[in-house]
C-alpha cells in the first residue's frame, strides 16, 4: 500500500538492508556499462574513494566493476580526463567527484585553509608563485617538475615532513587553486583550476549552510537509509561542528527526508530515508526485489563504514 511522507513508517530489517543495497546499484542483474549508466551510478554514489593500493585494480575501478562490469574503466577515464564531467577532490579522503557538484565543493574551498596552514603558505609565497608561473607557462606538470623554493620547511610528525612542494600543491588543491588533470607514471599532473575546469561549469560557491545541506541529502540518497552517524561517516568523517541533526530536522520540515523506524532495532536510533527513495522502498515492500552476488572493494561505498555495515 502506498505511503506518504506524513504517516509514520516502520519497515523490516530485511527491507532496510535491501534499500541500502539497491540505493548503491548493487541489486538486480548487472547491466553492461555505457556512459549514461555510469553517470547514473556516480550521481547515486556521489564520490569514488581513491586509494594508491592496486593489488587487483584501483579501488575506484573495483567499485564500478561491481556495478557495471569491466567496461566501466575506460568510460570513467574519458569522463574524468577528457569530458571533465568528474574531477578529483577531497571528501573525507581523496576521491573522484562530480563536476556538477563543484559549487558545493567550492564552498569548502573558499573556507580553506586553516590559520596555521595559511601562515605556512604565506611564509612560502615564493614557492606558491613559482608553481603558478610554471603551470601558466607549461600547462600540466607533475610534482617533480617544481623547484623547492620554500623559505620555511613543512614540519610534520608523519611522512610529509620536508615535502614542501608536495604540501604546497596539496594545500592549493584543497583551496581550489589547482586541480589534478591526469596521471603519468603514477604521478598526478597539476594544472590551474581555470585551465582545467570546463568553461560551462558553475563556479559560484553555495552558501556554506546550503552546501552542507546538499551534501546531507546526497548522503541519505546514497545510503538509502541512514542515521545521523551514517551521514557523518559518508561525507563529513573528519569534520567537526557540522550540525547534522539540525540539518536533517530542517530537511524533514521541508519534506525532503522522512524519519523511519526499523522493526526490531534495539538501538532506538532514528533512521532517515530521502523522499526521492520512497518509490524504491515501496517497490521493495511490495516484493519487487532481485539480489545478486558480486565482489566488493574494502573501500566500496556500501561497506567503507564498518560500524554501519555491521
What's the whole-number mean pLDDT along residues 240-259? 95
Q: pLDDT tens digits for 134-164?
A: 999 998 999 999 999 999 999 987 888 889 9
196, 216, 237 — which closes off a domain?
196
Indicate whether 91 belongs to any domain.
yes
Give yes or no: residues 226 and 283 share one domain.
yes
What total of structural domains would you count in the chain? 2
**Pair 218, 91 in one domain:** yes
- Interval 33-58: pLDDT, tens: 999 999 999 999 999 999 867 678 88
Q: Strand, helix or coil at 159? A: coil
**Alpha carbon 23 to chain centroid distance?**
15
Is 284 contained in some domain?
yes
The answer to whether position 2 is within a domain reads: no
Measured between alpha carbons, how far is 86 from 89 in angstroms, rounded to an integer? 10
Smallest CA-to-CA distance from 300 within 41, 64, 52 is with 64
Could you tell me which residues are beta bridge partners of residue 88? 96
Taking only Cα atoms into account, the Rg of the chain, rounded to an integer number of angstroms, comes to 21
Average confidence score pLDDT of the chain: 93
176 and 219 within one domain: no
User: Considering the domain boundaries, does residue 290 fall inside one?
Assistant: yes
Q: Let me know if residue 4 belongs to a domain.
A: no
CATH number of the domain residue 180 falls in: 1.10.10
More confident position, 218 or 30: 218
Q: Would you say residue 3 lies in a domain? A: no
SS percent in the chain: helix, strand, coil, step 5? 45, 15, 40
Out of 196, 221, 241, pick the residue that ends a domain: 196
Residue 250, phi then psi, degrees to nearest 5: -65, -45
pTM across the whole model: 0.93
The residue range of the domain holding 134 is: 105-196
**Per-residue pLDDT reduced to its tens digit, 5-33:** 455 689 999 999 999 999 999 998 888 89
Helix (H) or strand (E) run with residue 49 in it: strand 47-49
Q: Are residues 281 and 252 in the same domain?
A: yes
pLDDT of res. 159: 81
Same domain, 83 and 229: yes
Q: Are residues 138 and 192 in the same domain?
A: yes
Angle, CA 63 vertex, CA 292 and CA 307 arms, to 5°? 80
Residues 166 and 293 in one domain: no
Q: Are residues 32 and 161 in the same domain?
A: no
Backbone angles phi, psi at 11, to 5 degrees: -125, 160
Q: Is residue 160 part of a domain?
A: yes
**Structural contact between residues 104 and 215, judged by C-beta atoms closer than 8 angstroms:** yes
> Coil, strand or helix: which one is 15?
helix
How far is it, in rounded angstroms, from Cα 152 to Cα 136? Answer: 24
Comparing CA positions, the residue from 211, 241, 217 lying closest to residue 231 is 217
pLDDT value, residue 3: 45
Q: Is residue 1 one of the residues assigned to a domain?
A: no
115 with 190, same domain: the answer is yes
Q: What is the mean pLDDT of residues 170-189?
A: 94
| Start-to-end C-alpha separation, the chain | 30
Q: Residues 81, 88: contact at Cβ < 8 Å?
A: no
Q: How far apart are CA 102 and CA 199, in angstroms?
A: 12
d(CA 268, CA 277): 22
pLDDT band at 4 (very low <50, low <70, confident <90, very high): very low
| Nearest-10 Cα torsion for 115, 121, 125, 130 | -150
Of 143, 171, 196, which residue is a domain's last?
196
Contact 63, 45 (CB under 8 A): yes
- Helical H segments across the chain, by residue range: 13-23, 35-45, 59-68, 72-77, 102-110, 115-123, 125-138, 164-174, 193-196, 208-223, 228-235, 244-253, 278-285, 306-309
Same domain, 227 and 156: no
**Same domain (yes/no): 88, 165:** no
Q: How far apart are CA 310 and CA 303, in angstroms?
A: 9
* Backbone torsions φ then ψ of 95, nearest 5 degrees: -150, 160
Note whether 119 and 192 are same-domain residues: yes
Amino acid at each position: 500500500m502506498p505511503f506518504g511522507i506524513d504517516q509514520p513508517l516502520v519497515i523490516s530489517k530485511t527491507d532496510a538492508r535491501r534499500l541500502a543495497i539497491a540505493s548503491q546499484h548493487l541489486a538486480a542483474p548487472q547491466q553492461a556499462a555505457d556512459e549514461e549508466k555510469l553517470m547514473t551510478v556516480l550521481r547515486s554514489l556521489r564520490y569514488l574513494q581513491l586509494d594508491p593500493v592496486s593489488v587487483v585494480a584501483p579501488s575506484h575501478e573495483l567499485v564500478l566493476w561491481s556495478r557495471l562490469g569491466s567496461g566501466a574503466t575506460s568510460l570513467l577515464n574519458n569522463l574524468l580526463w577528457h569530458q571533465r564531467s568528474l574531477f578529483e577532490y577531497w571528501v573525507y579522503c581523496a576521491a573522484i567527484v562530480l563536476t556538477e557538484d563543484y559549487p558545493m565543493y567550492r564552498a569548502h574551498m573558499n573556507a580553506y585553509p586553516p590559520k596555521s596552514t595559511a601562515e605556512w603558505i604565506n611564509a612560502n609565497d615564493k614557492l606558491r608563485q613559482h608553481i603558478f608561473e610554471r603551470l601558466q607557462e607549461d600547462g600540466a606538470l607533475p610534482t617533480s617538475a617544481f623547484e623547492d623554493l620554500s623559505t620555511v620547511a613543512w614540519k610534520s610528525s608523519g611522512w610529509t615532513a620536508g615535502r614542501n612542494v608536495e604540501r604546497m600543491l596539496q594545500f592549493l588543491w584543497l583551496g581550489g587553486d589547482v586541480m589534478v588533470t591526469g596521471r603519468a607514471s603514477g604521478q598526478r599532473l597539476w594544472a590551474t583550476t581555470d585551465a582545467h575546469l570546463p568553461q560551462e561549469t558553475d563556479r559560484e560557491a553555495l552558501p556554506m549552510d546550503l552546501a552542507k545541506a546538499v551534501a546531507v541529502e546526497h548522503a541519505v540518497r546514497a545510503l538509502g537509509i541512514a542515521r545521523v552517524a551514517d551521514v557523518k561517516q559518508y561525507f563529513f568523517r573528519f569534520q567537526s561542528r557540522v550540525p547534522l541533526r539540525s540539518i536533517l530536522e530542517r530537511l524533514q520540515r521541508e519534506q525532503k527526508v522522512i524519519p523511519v523506524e526499523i522493526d526490531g532495532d534495539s538501538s532506538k536510533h532514528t533512521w532517515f530515508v530521502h523522499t526521492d527513495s520512497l518509490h524504491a522502498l515501496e517497490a521493495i515492500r511490495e516484493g519487487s526485489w532481485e539480489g545478486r552476488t558480486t565482489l566488493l572493494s574494502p573501500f566500496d561505498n556500501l561497506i567503507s563504514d564498518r560500524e554501519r555495515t555491521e
